[in-house]
Structure 1
Amino acid sequence: MLEQPLLDSNFDQTSLDSLQSTVNTGSDLELTTHPSGVSALNEIGLDEGLLAHWENSDSLSMDSLAFADTLTIAEPLPISVSASTAADSLTGDVVGTFSTDNSWSQSTTSPSYLYGSLRADRFQVDLSQSLTVISGNGNVDYGRGLWDVLDLSNISTQSVIGWSPVESGGVLFDTGNGARVFDSLQLSNGSQILFEGLDSIQFADGAIDLSVDPNDSGFSSQWNLHMMGVHNAWRFTQGNSNVLVGVQDSGLGYNPYAGGFHPDLNAANMVYFSNNVVDEFFRSGSGPRLNSHGTGVQSIISAATNNGYGMSGINWNSTVFSIDVLDNNVGDMSLVQATQEMINYANSQGQRLVINMSLSSSGLNQGLEQLIATNQNNALFVIAAGNDNRHGISQPAALGQNYANVIAVGASWGTQDRFGNLTNPGDRISYLGGWGSNYGAGLSLMGPSEVLAARANSPSAGGTFDFESLFNGTSAAAPNVAGVASLVWSANPYLSATQVHQIMAETAFDLGPAGYDIGSGFGFVNADAAVRRALAIAVTSGSTPSAQTSFMAELAEVIDFLSPAKTEALGTAEPAVAEMDWAAIVAGLVEQFTTPALQNNFGGNEDLGDAILTFSTESTVGLVEHTIDRSWAQRSTAEVTREHAQALEEFVAQLSLSDVLTPEFDFVA
């Protein structure tokens, strides 16, 4: 715990104590020595720049949904054809023959495609084309008042007879890299325009503003958000409680005489161990540090947004779990311990987990690798590639070569380097004789660096809080990508971690040679396209993302895979069963049918070991009793046998047959 003299009078010690007891899953948190091997960890951030003056840009906006009220036909026009019938590599299903009329057949016409750059683009449409598909790809110039614009200034809004924005259904379309949900305009001449990633539509008599502009004073300077299209993706999600974001770093700057944490971090939306979260501003073996690395990293992901102050975070709403793993100070955790704590907490809350690691280690951490390998459904690791300006990415990012739930992130420039020299947006950062982003096998995505971030200064530097305009290294690129990943998962929590990675890879803006290359991976992250892809998968699978019902969906999928007929025919469970999140399923059952006391007991007490969850249901043959234990989370395919299938199948059957059924659960040691 923090010593009382360090606490501000308004800092709720009782809440901290309660939090620790809730989050603590059995680890020794009062560490007096750091676990071996962690001294080799290094944050991947470099020298810090001075805070630049922020410019503000105001834009006139028209509510895109309200615009529908002005149309002759406000609802989407029915199009009685199917979408592309290309196989969907994520779901294994055929994308097509949907039960919605909001689809377009790629076989009935030859669309005209218009693709944008990472800069501000103006798209002019040939209205003689029956179908035009436009893809904006982020806009690094947005903060300077230059927008990605669909230019329809030669026609008026009266020419629009059909307007279907994504918020009211949109139109499903596959451009070749995965079906996504597009906004749609239908014009009186019979032509249709599908589009994504645009900031505005300009008509002769008005304009529709399609972006989300929070009122934070620094937002216009956050070119990184604009270049990733985050301001477009915010139309659909700003993050939610389905996702937990973990930040493993140096901890957070804390000053009891200046309000506690940085004022632009939302402390009410954070969980942490009170004796671990504070950045000591001291690196064992190297001495004092002037700034809090962890504060800058976390602010990129989740700075308090739309509060009229400071900067905007990528994810406004998801809970952030911050753990100090750097600098080898008393109370710091190892990567393995921190990762396990985050996984345990996410499972207890029924959440998906995105972990940001803006750090490198001197060698392979086998314990961490094991956790990555066994949590490929529910945990996504976003890790900085390193700043050595060399071929070969750092550990643990290099684990991305072997595991699809690891995203190794390189760093890209915006429009200029730290010295003001003009650069090509998206290019890998490389300073002659200085730092540069590592590249090589396993590199997956590029994210922006040298960006605006919150800064907490050490007590020796006054203990003040402010901002810096050039937070850099792949340390800055990784949280940009992690923040986008958390939005994608918020949009569709039914996705697995590997699917989130695949979506982000498929929808990235290609850099360098066509396709994947070791210099830039799959390309520069595109938030808007990735979120639209996640929404499309939710539509085609018929799912309605919900934290309360997701475990039942997984349970139904288990029953389908493990039906007695299939089990008998195969002799064992199908391979996909091994990928089921058994821990989340059991946690969901506990949450749905037990008391809060039992829920807390199950979620936070490791003393239960392999405690058995016993539930009873009434059937036509009398009382039926079933058991599920914690080890389900570790079961292999071969171990998931008909016994488990029948237990779950019986349980679900009883739930379906009785409106008054009240399963009774108990824990057996």
Structure 2
Amino acid sequence: MKYKKNIIAVALLSSGFGSYANTAPNLPLVLKDPLTNQQWHLQNTGQSGFSLSNGKAGEDMNIDFADRMGIKGRGITVSVIDTGVEISHPDLQPNVVPGSRNLIDGTDFPTDTHGHGTAVAGLIAAVEGNGMGGRGVAPYANLIGFNFLDEQSMASWMLSHGLSEDFRALDRFTDPRVFNQSYGNSPATPQRDAMDDPGFALQQEIMQDISLQSHWGRGAIYVKAAGNEYESYDTYISGIPFYVLPRENGQYFNNNGLPFHNANISSENVSFWNMVVSAVNAKGEHSSYSSVGANVFLSAPGGEYGTNEPAMVTVDLVGCDKGFNVSGTHANALHGGVDLDPNCQYTGVMNGTSSAAPNVAGAIATVMSANPGLSARTVKHLLAQTARQVDASHAGVPLSFENAAGEMVSYDAVPGWQTNAAGYHFHNFYGLGMVNVDEAVYKALFTGVSLPALQVTPWRAQTAQVSIPDASLDGAQSVMTLNEELTIEAVQLKVNIEHSRVRDLAIELTSPSGTRSVVLSPRTGFLAGSKGGFTDAVMLSHHFYGENAQGNWTLKVIDTDKGSSQTYIYNPSIGLFGYNKNNNSVPGVLKDWSLKIYGH
């Protein structure tokens, strides 16, 4: 199989397509359907996506080469783990294969009463060239779906995430090699090491096995949405819903431009087995809502809201009485039963990292179909190597604050684009960059050997017991030496910190090569800490991708506030309440920390 792939690749090169993949200007996509010309994420010509303003030409996923060569996901199955999927939708049904499940009634029809999962499925693999709607990123890929968000038991999780009822290995050609998870949670307090929870530990074992051993050892990839809580978030306290928002210098929703809810605080998002994805809008900039963090691996189009600025154009539940597109007036010109879509089968307002994730899932299916013999980790590596430095001038987010001595100081709270010692660009907003389909496909065609086997170190612990001075750039610092000479794929950090105002803290990790990663930005909207701080809190960074793990690692914890910032919660029936109103009366303590390296 690899031999045949190399012959194909040489033929493409000799015919001129080798240079085309890298340098050719955008050419019209083949087999256009009526709405494809508004799907800016596939080919951005500056169109509006039926919104009130236009995007920026060229800010797209770069699929021209794959499109013209017909490399579009054939033979790769993607599992949509969501609100369900309307698998009878005429723009999805031809790509649906056996394997879907309604987790409530046990049938093979994963009923979607919301529309979210159906829209996600359309972004991945809506059919092309059938004269209706638009197309997916991988329009030849196979689809299965699960209504997991309606029935979130452990049994349902196992089935939707790849563990069959008869515990059969995922080796059939119709078994999924890509799992899309456009969902998440918003913890109001720092997460403790979820591996202490037997259920989560079991999930991680299952994901590890499927990621590495399924499909005759080639493995699979789990894609995860980063979250949509950059400015505020919703949570539950004792079963009661609350809206959580920041307040700084007497102004609500003022968080000094920093992410209010970091993507690195959810246990699912700090799992090595999940590829976390943030969202970019049609101008090639950070989508206003997208959660961000050092754990983000890639960014992809998610759009804005489809009214003032473009969102995603994708499939919707059939009928003008359900889904996102219903009868009535709407600012998005696709909605309400218009001539282009009289039966309201499509939508122009799908957005969020819920959209960015399936765009990456479709990209993965495309790259896998270019060279099915490559391991899933190798495909992930090719995506990292080829990711585009989107929004290259983004300078990050500095934080000015008054220190304990009454002086105004500045802290580089979210660094701009940095190039690590292995030559990889990284930004907490965009991870290793925007997914670049054509470049990854081109590399896959010429890649004949997969990555070496994954190696995972045990947790390496370091006692610190260092005081964290209040409102000071000095911070608390501790050094650990690792002897493992591994090429890094990801680094997990576990911390134990005593502090009564965890929202004040920035946590940064510096590698032996000198690369500095802010693994938790300050002003994260926690309501409180576990046991008065962070207790076995785990975070993840991809900032060190490709570097050598051997040498001295430095952890630094900085208190950036002496009491000016607060977190508020609101419920319309209960009212508005403030948390963290008073500054910590005593300095915090960095008690101890641990590192785990994933690499080869």
| TM-score, scaled relative to structure 2 | 0.48
Between Structure 1 and Structure 2, the one with more strand by share is 2
Q: Which has the higher contact order (CA 8 A, sep 6+)?
A: 2
Between Structure 1 and Structure 2, the one with more helix by share is 1
